[in-house]
Amino acid sequence: MAAQSPLSALLALLTSSVQTLESAYAKQGLSYPSLDAPFAPSPLDTDAELNNIARLAVASAAQIIATIRGPLETIQETSTGAYGAAALSLIVDTHVANIIKEAGDDDQGVHISEIAAKAQVPADSLGRLLRYLSTRHIFREVKPDTFANNRVSSTLIKKHTLDEIKAKPTIEYEGSTAAAFVGHTTDEGLQGAAAISSWVKSLHKNYATPFNVGNHVDTDIFHWFETQEYRARRFHIAATGSATDRFPPTIFTGGYDWASLPKDSIVVDVGASMGSVTLTLIKEFPHLKYILQDLEKVVKYDAPKYWEAQMPSALTDGRVTFQAIDFFEAQPVKNAAVYFMRAIIHDWPDEKAKQIMKVVRDAAGPNSKLVVFDAIMPYACEYTGPFAEAVAPIKAPYPLLANLGLGLGGFVTLVDIQMLNLLNGKERTVGEFIELGKQSGWKLESVKPGMMASIVYSAA
Ligand X SMILES: C[S@@+](CC[C@H](N)C(=O)[O-])C[C@H]1O[C@@H](n2cnc3c(N)ncnc32)[C@H](O)[C@@H]1O
Point out which residues bind ligand X (CB under 6 A). Answer: 222, 239-240, 243, 271-273, 276-277, 294-295, 298, 325-328, 342-344, 347
Query: What's the CA gap between 347 and 331, in Å, rounded?
Result: 19
242 vs 403, beta carbon nearer ligand X: 242
CA dihedral 419, 422, 424, 426 (to 10 degrees): -10
110 vs 298, beta carbon nearer ligand X: 298
* Contact criterion met (CB below 8 Å) for 217 and 211: yes
290 vs 383, beta carbon nearer ligand X: 290
Closest distance to ligand X from the beta carbon of 178 (Å): 15
CA distance to 87, 112, 355, 457, per residue, from 178 (Å): 15, 23, 32, 32
325 vs 396, beta carbon nearer ligand X: 325
Closest distance to ligand X from the beta carbon of 185 (Å): 13
Query: What's the CA gap between 343 and 426, in Å, rounded?
Result: 10
237 vs 396, beta carbon nearer ligand X: 237
* Contact criterion met (CB below 8 Å) for 449 and 393: yes
* Contact criterion met (CB below 8 Å) for 54 and 19: no
- Candidates 453, 236, 256, 436; CA nearest to 356 is 436
* Contact criterion met (CB below 8 Å) for 306 and 240: yes
Output DSSP code: residue 5. P
Closest distance to ligand X from the beta carbon of 62 (Å): 27
List beta partners, residue 337: none
Amino acid occupying residue 26:
A
308 vs 382, beta carbon nearer ligand X: 308
Rounded to 5°, the CA angle 353-357-359 comes to 115
Closest distance to ligand X from the beta carbon of 219 (Å): 11
Angle in degrees, 0-180, between the axes of helices 430-440 and 350-363, rounded to the nearest 10: 50
172 vs 220, beta carbon nearer ligand X: 220
Closest distance to ligand X from the beta carbon of 286 (Å): 20
Closest distance to ligand X from the beta carbon of 63 (Å): 31
Closest distance to ligand X from the beta carbon of 279 (Å): 10
